[in-house]
Structure 1
Amino acid sequence: MRKAFFTISFLIFLSLPILSLSSPVCNKDDEKVLFKIKESLGNPYHLASWQKSSDCCTWYCIKCDLKTSRIIALTIFQGNISGQIPNAVGDLPFLQTLIFRKLTNLRGTIPLAISKLTHLTLLDLSWTNLTGPVPSFLSKLKNLEYLDLSFNDLTGSIPPELASLTKLEDIHLDRNKLTGVIPDSFGYFKGRTPNLHLSHNQLTGTIPKSLGYLNFSSIDFSRNKLTGDISMFFGPNKTTTFADFSRNSFEFNMSKVVVPASLTWLDLNHNKIFGSLPKPLTGLSLQYLNVSYNKLCGHIPNGGNLQHFTSNEYSHNTCLCGSPLPACK
């Protein structure tokens, strides 16, 4: 949660104009590109500060490098903007941050021109009405650390090429209409293991066993059509803090699971999980737990935070009992 707050605060900071006595002088080539972008978007009021009468490094939604005067961030969000992402964005060669966020009238596909932005570390095209596939050409962005394409209407399969991005720390493809399987290549990230959020899609099949070799800090596969055994994501050597596998058709023996000591959020509701709840759950600092609508049996272990949750989080299991459910017979 703290990371999400930091991310939003960071985005807001990037949207502010740079007002400083030592502000750089705008590069004229970059200025020309910005005017093309503004024109492609229909000269919206949101970009009213983009005028020749002022230096482009002071414009709203723009950030320049203090030493080179080149534009390194274009952050457009929560404005009345229509149309498509302009191809001209690919002509800002020093861009490190590109954000088009919460623009519900922004449509079309993700343009190939973005693949030219080889310095890009953050790409956020979320909460828009973008369509088409998650493009495989994003794998050309070798410096990318944060990728957010969530809350769109993207279709097709997840490109396995994304696993070649060695600097990725976060992948958000949730809240789209993606189909197919989770690529096996996602078990072979060469850099650090990224936080992986694929929820609210139409993904099918079993989870590749290769993913079990990785140590995800945050993982969310909820609300898909996935099947099989996901117990490989648990274990004594894992440092997972957030895990949401709810509303799929996962099936495994919960009683044999060794839960990571780091886990604070676990949602397994609406699956086909059987067995009993392991006693070590009482040793976790759980902020949230939901195992409802499964096939669990046995006594809910006493201790820790397990009795702090309501009966709703344990309901609709085969024969689970004990506080906060009715006593075992």
Structure 2
Amino acid sequence: MDDSLISQSSSRHQKHQGQRKSLDAQLPRQPSGNNTGGRTHLLILNGGGHTAFLGDFFALVRFFEQRPSFNFGGEYWTTESPDECFARNKGVVDIKFGGDTVLEKSEIVDPKDGTSTRNTQNWVYLPPPDALARFDAWLRIKSDTNASERAMPGDSIILIFLAHGVQRTTSVPGSPDPVHTPIGLQLGHNILEAEKLVAQLRRLEKDIQINVISLSCYSGVFSSRIAADGQTDRWILTEREKAWPALRSPSNRYRNSLFVAGLVRSLGGLSTLPISLGLKMVKDDVTKATQSHPDPSRLSTPQSYHSVHGNYKVASLLFRACADFPIIPQNTAARRRNE
């Protein structure tokens, strides 16, 4: 397997587990009369399988945790444990996104005895076998009209998946070449199929804005299926073909995916462009990042579907109650030289 962010099957994922291969707290609602809109329910789920996902995951966690809001509830789950990553790579003391440190080893591992302190963090380690069931349960609660943590009309749900894409391979009689059909993405040891997510989102009440962002290879299957289902109040941003990580760093580590690099760059504009930042700008920034790979064979283009106007403002669509995020610092040559 090359260094693209793709997995052909769950068995292959298990076979290579541990190897390096070619991102809702219950909160009180805002008192009536406040015009900030509904509550935002965010879930970032790192399905694991590539070193770039950890950089993506912690960059996004840091981004969303910078300015929490009364009506903003975020949950952050990773099936890849960073303390285990540090244990495998003895000389590594931090996890980077681009040239910036987004998690230091000392934050989660006691320097005296090496024990993990991850339970004190705002993110959760999710055992790989449990990932799909936990995600299913989370969405069931959001669609359960009797649950106190449910999503209500006027709320928005943001799902960000950092995971490998999964394809089903079938043989064609009379042809030497098999057919690869994208079916979903890998969450730990299980597969989230596009058809299942379409059905799950359909159960949510009307007038709940759903935003799905996935960097998985061929995750355009999600935007295509949701569009074909005619669902409204949706914005889906996915990878059309293969997704690629940034080049290895001087310390020989992948730091992030190009897709999330573009996403974070664009979302950082919420602190300076809360009025003009629209969906097209976000997609343009992601496209620019994914097409920045110096190898022409590794360029990709995101695919999106939205049932709102293309100029709809991201600050309203995604983060109705939590704008004005600070921008994650840009890379500098000095940081790279000091690594």
Q: TM-score range by the shorter chain?
A: under 0.3
TM-score (norm 2): 0.26
Bigger RCO of structures 1 and 2 (CA < 8 A, at least 6 apart): 2
Rg: which structure is higher?
A: 1
Q: Which has the higher helix share?
A: 2
